[in-house]
Amino acid sequence: MSQAQVVDVPESDPRVKQMLKVIKNYQKRPDALVQVLHAVQDTFGYLPMNLIRVVSKELHIPPSRVFGVVTFYYYFSLKPKGEHNCLVCTGTACYVKGAQKIIDQISASFGVKDGQTTPDNKLGLQTARCIGCCGLAPAVVLDNEILPRTDPAQITGLINARLGAKK
Ligand code: FES
């Protein structure tokens, strides 16, 4: 298991220029913060710390507010994620319907714990305290796709299929 590290992106990276263009397209409006963060996350796969500071400066929003938004939404990550990412909801509705069993099964099958990625960086596992679809409990988000009423065997099967081989 490996604990993903916080990794800055050099400002000479051409994707940073692209990011500044996105910010410009939103006319540097502070209310575009979430959209800009989405664009940065989609481009880099996570939110590099140094670029959060650039976003903060460009949109004239205090860094503390930007970090507040970043940590509020489960979608955003401050660390590089795995090639595939599995987020298990551990909110009350999902918990009572077996979220812990799903986490335990993923950990046992793939050797990864909450907040970590596998050593080959193929799979990242995260948890969140309610992703807003309690009627679908237990809910899991696999590579940004919400999977309703899941169970441990189904999730490990799906992950195995995405990883392309049984472990
Ligand atoms: S508790 Fe899992 S979606 Fe709300």
Q: Is 1 a domain residue? A: no
pTM of the model: 0.70
Asked whether residue 104 falls in the same domain as residue 145, the answer is yes
Which residues form ligand 1's pocket by a CB distance below 6 Å?
89, 91-94, 130-134, 137, 139
CA 152/CA 109 separation, integer angstroms = 10
Token couple for 99: 């979220």
Instruction: Note the pLDDT tens digit of each residue in 54-103.
Output: 999 999 999 889 998 998 887 888 887 788 999 999 999 999 999 999 99
Nearest CA to ligand 1 atom 1: 91
Domain harbouring 139, CATH code: 3.40.30.10
Cα 65 to ligand 1 centre (Å): 25
What distances in angstroms separate CA 50 from CA 10, 80, 128, one per listed residue? 9, 14, 25
Pair 158, 91 in one domain: yes
pLDDT confidence of 1, banded at 50, 70, 90? Answer: very low
